[in-house]
């Protein structure tokens, strides 16, 4: 038996466009011989529509587009996720999978376990399913539909966690299910490909039957969906797999066919691709023409520029060198070399005169820059903010978007200037630790030097005062990153981290800096989430003022 899966691009709120692309995908899958086709979760609206769901016209337009989709479905059934009105008590909507045949919805299954982790907040709008998961017959086979998270409980349970009272997977055990039809909206984070495979494999082993797993691909705001939709047969073998990050893929596989490779890649290539896709789709959806970024000669801005060129091509990326009195000639040369390697426009706008024009009146009012100055951040921040001002002037003049180049290590501890180097429409590497910045830079350079070797090898410095080094203020990056991974991603506090062997004083300093920097992160630009716990909006929900230090 041939079966089909549609790996949709994620386009939020594009009811008609999504419906039309689903019709195309369905038609193609049928043409290739598929006898049943599965599409992603909430596939008419695009899943990430947030409170837009609360406007009355949302369902009206959604349902009109859904009707169009239904009319295109013939005797090969389509299983697709939709948002639908909840006719009973509780929240106004349901997140459901529907089974359509010959233009009619024959079966519906609303989601039981609503996602509430990372950026998800489904209980805000959706009433969960309170009934047993339905099973139904299709051409002599027994089928069940599970929406995304409903398939994941097995995996969480395997890790000793029980996030939900219900476990739809175990509820289906022993029911003789032949086909498990799974619409998903499952975003990327580092290592997610393998995790997803293992989770599906475990669920398949419990339930039995074949799994048709349909996911989104592409970026939406801070999320990047990695696709990797696949078909696993009743023996647990992958017999069809869509490419990572590729959207509008139609996958048709023979359940009894030969095993194929699942796209396990979950290393630095995957991480790089996620960033590139995230930026490209955000730029495209925002309608900006190009991107602008300051090139300091350091590794962070160099990596951002290189990723931007991969995403958009050199003609849509502009670099600006903005030297101050503390910028080294080496840094200027490194930035120049980078721009040449990337073949991007690179302007030079010194900030010395701007700095002086700020310093003069402020010397009188607040003692700015006077000889008593010894390490105050005020003077450093004015330099960073003068640069932010230049980047934004470019962005305004060209209808372009600034890229903020700070990494996750810096954003965590607040080693960044608000309205300065934190300026921009997209913080491309805000969820990438410094050590991963190094790894990605080597990946960029694997076929020849793009990022100058000197940018990679020199000690990191903000160059905002004489002979400044990052390590004046921060632990060495390998140590900092290891502590932050525990603190931010694994919810390990002081005691757990000290138990792992980190210096208590360093741990306490990092936790204090991270807590104090929450006010900066609240005003940080959005950026692609590529870890299991990012610093993005809705992802880390953390108070600004709190007396509890973990």
Closest distance to a copy of itself from the beta carbon of 72 (Å): 20
Residue nearer to a copy of itself on the CB measure, 115 or 238: 115
Binding region for a copy of itself (CB under 8 A) out of 34-42, 76-84, 203-211, 374-382: 374-382
Residues 77-116 that bind a copy of itself (CB under 8 A): 88-91, 114, 116
Closest distance to a copy of itself from the beta carbon of 231 (Å): 30
**Tokens representing residue 266 in the block:** 């979950």
Longest dimension (CA), the chain: 86
Residues 125-144 that bind a copy of itself (CB under 8 A): 127, 130
Check if 148 is active-site.
yes
- DSSP per-residue letters across 349-374: ---HHHHHHHHHHHHHHH-TT-TT-S
Which helix (H) or strand (E) covers residue 211, if one does?
strand 210-214
d(CA 358, CA 111): 57
Closest distance to a copy of itself from the beta carbon of 296 (Å): 17
376 part of the interface to a copy of itself, by CB under 8 A: yes
Residues 282-321 that bind a copy of itself (CB under 8 A): 282, 285-286
392 part of the interface to a copy of itself, by CB under 8 A: yes
Nearest CA to 451 out of 317, 291, 328, 337 is that of 337
> Is the sign of the CA dihedral 273, 534, 230, 12 positive or negative?
negative
Residues 38-67 that bind a copy of itself (CB under 8 A): 45-46, 48-52, 54-58, 61
Residue nearer to a copy of itself on the CB measure, 117 or 442: 117
Binding region for a copy of itself (CB under 8 A) out of 159-167, 199-207, 225-233, 248-256: 159-167
Residue nearer to a copy of itself on the CB measure, 250 or 497: 497
Residue nearer to a copy of itself on the CB measure, 476 or 495: 495
Residue nearer to a copy of itself on the CB measure, 113 or 233: 113
**Tokens representing residue 492 in the block:** 């390990």
d(CA 106, CA 75): 12
Of the residues 2, 35, 70, 111, which is catalytic?
111
165 part of the interface to a copy of itself, by CB under 8 A: yes
269 part of the interface to a copy of itself, by CB under 8 A: no
Contact 37, 26 (CB under 8 A): yes
State the CB neighbour count (10 A cutoff) for residue 104.
Answer: 10
Half-sphere exposure of 437 (CA within 13 A, CB side): 29
Which of 43, 143, 180, 423 binds a copy of itself (CB under 8 A)? It is 423
Closest distance to a copy of itself from the beta carbon of 476 (Å): 25
**Tokens representing residue 144 in the block:** 């069940």
Which of 27, 63, 68, 163 binds a copy of itself (CB under 8 A)? It is 163
Residues 500-529 that bind a copy of itself (CB under 8 A): 519, 522-526
Residues 228-267 that bind a copy of itself (CB under 8 A): none
Q: How many residues bind a copy of itself (CB under 8 A)?
A: 100
Which of 117, 198, 256, 449 binds a copy of itself (CB under 8 A)? It is 117
The C-alpha angle with vertex 224 and arms to 59 and 305, in degrees rounded to 5, equals 135
190 part of the interface to a copy of itself, by CB under 8 A: no
**Separation in Å, CA 209 to CA 139, 180, 200, 354, 414:** 15, 7, 12, 68, 50
Check if 458 is active-site.
no
- Written in H, E and C, the secondary structure of 432-469 is CCHHHHHHHHHHHHHHCCCCCHHHHHCCCCCCCCCCCC
547 part of the interface to a copy of itself, by CB under 8 A: yes
**Tokens representing residue 77 in the block:** 């059934």
C-alpha 14 chain-centroid distance: 20
Binding region for a copy of itself (CB under 8 A) out of 203-211, 257-265, 267-275, 490-498: 490-498
Which of 381, 445, 454, 532 binds a copy of itself (CB under 8 A)? It is 381
Residues 426-485 that bind a copy of itself (CB under 8 A): none
Residue nearer to a copy of itself on the CB measure, 106 or 377: 377
Residue nearer to a copy of itself on the CB measure, 12 or 439: 12
Binding region for a copy of itself (CB under 8 A) out of 238-246, 298-306, 326-334, 536-544: 536-544
**Tokens representing residue 111 in the block:** 């989601």
**Tokens representing residue 448 in the block:** 């020849």
d(CA 322, CA 387): 7
Nearest CA to 68 out of 49, 50, 85, 43 is that of 43
Interacting residues of 151 by C-beta distance below 8 A, sequence separation 6+: 168, 169, 180, 182, 184, 199, 200, 203, 211
Q: Report the relative pairing of strands 93-101 and 78-85 from DSSP bridges.
A: antiparallel
Of the residues 48, 70, 143, 148, which is catalytic?
148
Residue nearer to a copy of itself on the CB measure, 381 or 445: 381
Of the residues 2, 35, 41, 222, which is catalytic?
41
Closest distance to a copy of itself from the beta carbon of 11 (Å): 6
Helix (H, G, I), strand (E, B) or coil at 509: helix
Residues 312-371 that bind a copy of itself (CB under 8 A): 347, 349-350, 353-354, 356-358, 360-362, 365-368
List active site positions: 41, 111, 148
């Amino acid at each position: 038996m041939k079966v089909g899966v549609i790996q949709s691009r994620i386009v939020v709120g594009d009811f008609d466009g999504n419906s039309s692309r689903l019709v195309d995908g369905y038609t193609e899958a049928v043409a290739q011989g598929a006898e049943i086709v599965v599409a992603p979760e909430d596939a008419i609206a695009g899943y990430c529509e947030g409170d837009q769901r609360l406007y009355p016209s949302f369902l009206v337009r959604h349902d009109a587009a859904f009707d169009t989709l239904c009319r295109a479905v013939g005797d090969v059934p389509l299983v697709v996720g939709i948002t639908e009105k909840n006719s009973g008590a509780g929240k106004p909507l349901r997140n459901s999978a529907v089974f359509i045949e010959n233009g009619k919805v024959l079966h519906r299954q609303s989601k039981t376990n609503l996602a509430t982790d990372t950026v998800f907040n489904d209980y805000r709008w959706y009433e969960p399913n309170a009934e047993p998961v339905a099973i139904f017959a299709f051409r002599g086979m027994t089928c069940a539909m599970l929406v995304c998270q409903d398939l994941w409980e097995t995996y969480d349970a395997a890790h000793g966690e029980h996030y939900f009272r219900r476990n739809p997977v175990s509820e289906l055990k022993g029911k003789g299910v032949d086909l498990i039809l799974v619409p998903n909206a499952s975003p990327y984070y580092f290592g997610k490909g393998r995790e997803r495979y293992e989770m599906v494999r475990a669920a398949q082993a419990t339930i039995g039957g074949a799994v048709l797993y349909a996911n989104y691909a592409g970026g939406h705001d801070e999320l990047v969906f990695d696709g990797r939709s696949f078909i696993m047969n009743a023996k647990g073998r992958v017999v069809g797999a869509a490419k990572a990050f590729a959207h509008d893929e139609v996958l048709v596989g023979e359940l009894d066919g030969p095993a194929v490779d699942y796209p396990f890649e979950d290393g630095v290539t995957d991480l790089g691709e996620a960033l590139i896709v995230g930026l490209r789709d955000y730029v495209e959806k925002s309608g900006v023409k190009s991107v602008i970024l300051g090139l300091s000669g350091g590794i962070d801005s160099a990596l951002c520029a290189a990723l931007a060129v991969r995403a958009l091509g050199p003609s849509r990326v502009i670099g600006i060198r903005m030297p101050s009195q503390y910028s080294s000639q080496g840094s200027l040369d490194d930035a120049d070399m980078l721009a040449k390697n990337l073949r991007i426009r690179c302007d030079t706008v010194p900030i010395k005169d701007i700095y002086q024009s700020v310093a003069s009146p402020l010397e009188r009012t607040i003692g700015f820059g006077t000889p008593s100055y010894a390490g105050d951040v005020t003077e450093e921040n004015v330099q960073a903010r003068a640069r932010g001002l230049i980047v934004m002037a470019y962005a305004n003049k060209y209808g372009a978007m600034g890229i903020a180049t700070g990494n996750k290590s810096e954003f965590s501890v607040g080693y960044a200037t608000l309205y300065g180097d934190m300026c921009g429409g997209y913080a491309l590497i805000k969820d990438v630790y410094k050590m991963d910045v190094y790894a990605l830079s080597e990946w960029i350079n694997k076929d020849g030097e793009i990022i100058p070797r000197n940018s990679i090898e020199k000690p990191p410095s903000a160059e905002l005062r004489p002979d400044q080094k990052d390590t004046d203020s921060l632990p060495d990056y390998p140590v900092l990153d290891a502590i932050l991974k525990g603190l931010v991603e694994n919810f390990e506090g002081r005691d757990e981290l000290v138990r792992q062997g980190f210096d208590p004083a360093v741990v306490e300093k990092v936790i204090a800096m991270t807590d104090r920097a929450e006010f900066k992160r609240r005003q940080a630009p959005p950026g692609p989430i590529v870890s299991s716990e990012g610093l993005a909006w809705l992802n880390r929900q953390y108070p600004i003022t709190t007396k509890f230090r973990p």
